[in-house]
Structure 1
Amino acid sequence: MVTEESGRVPEDADVTRAHSLAREIFSGIANKWTLLVVTVLGERTLRFTELRGEVEGISHKMLTQTLRGLERDGLVERTVYPTVPPRVEYALTDAGRSLRQTVYGMCGWTRRHLEHIEESRERFDRASKTPVGPVGGRATTGGR
């Protein structure tokens, strides 16, 4: 009879855990505020009020939540200086700068495919203006 070492995790459990963690991370970084904060921080270190001024439309509460999430995931580093009043600065970590490069890649993809996407949306929107029947199918002429 063969037994596994106690405390050993089967390989498929590691894969499941990795997929679950990836979904959690993606949901945290794939929102407009996170992407904007990562883009604005770029290579610069900014104070909270400077960052809020550069991320148009973000509330104090949402910026605080976004920065805490990024700090928790190791993408942003928060430095507090012992002054009166305290000075707090935010900067991207190496992992945050790597994410920024990925964001720039997505922006480049969007620019390359912008015309195609706009044409597809227009075509879809025109086709969607066709009346829809009561069961979710397209309305038809003639009855049964």
Structure 2
Amino acid sequence: MKKRIKISVILMLLISLYFYVDYSIKIYTNRVANGELRNGIMEKVSPVKNGLGFGTKANNLTRKEYSEITKVSWFKKIPNTAENIDYRYSYEGFLPDYSFSVSYDLPKESQVDTLNFVDGSFSKKQSFKVVGDKVRVSYYELQM
């Protein structure tokens, strides 16, 4: 009986140790290693004042900042060469209604497809225009 208790205690300590070490690594990564990046993101992200009720927006994000945001959200993946990224996301909160838009600049030689998809209450569109030596891509998604 005592042997089972010792094994149980050791097993519980090992499992707890794993979670403490894993959590400590995440704290270090988020607070120390990526602290400056995350603080920069928080300065650029602000709540959406109008729209469906809830949401956020940001302007002039770097590719690295946008990638950090997409780690915790479903936002559209964009090319690695994207820069000057703006996004706006608003959602209703109770119903699955939302709108999401992202625009970004790519090098002029980039290939960009246009998109215009509508299926009932869901739609997504992508367009682009050449502005100077960049291609400005605009993507919009709506669920109503």
Which is richer in helix? 1
Q: Which structure is larger by alpha-carbon Rg, 1 or 2?
A: 1
TM-score bracket relative to the smaller structure: 0.3 to 0.5
TM-score (norm 1): 0.35
- Where relative contact order (Cα < 8 A, 6+ residues apart) is larger, the structure is 1
Which is richer in strand? 2
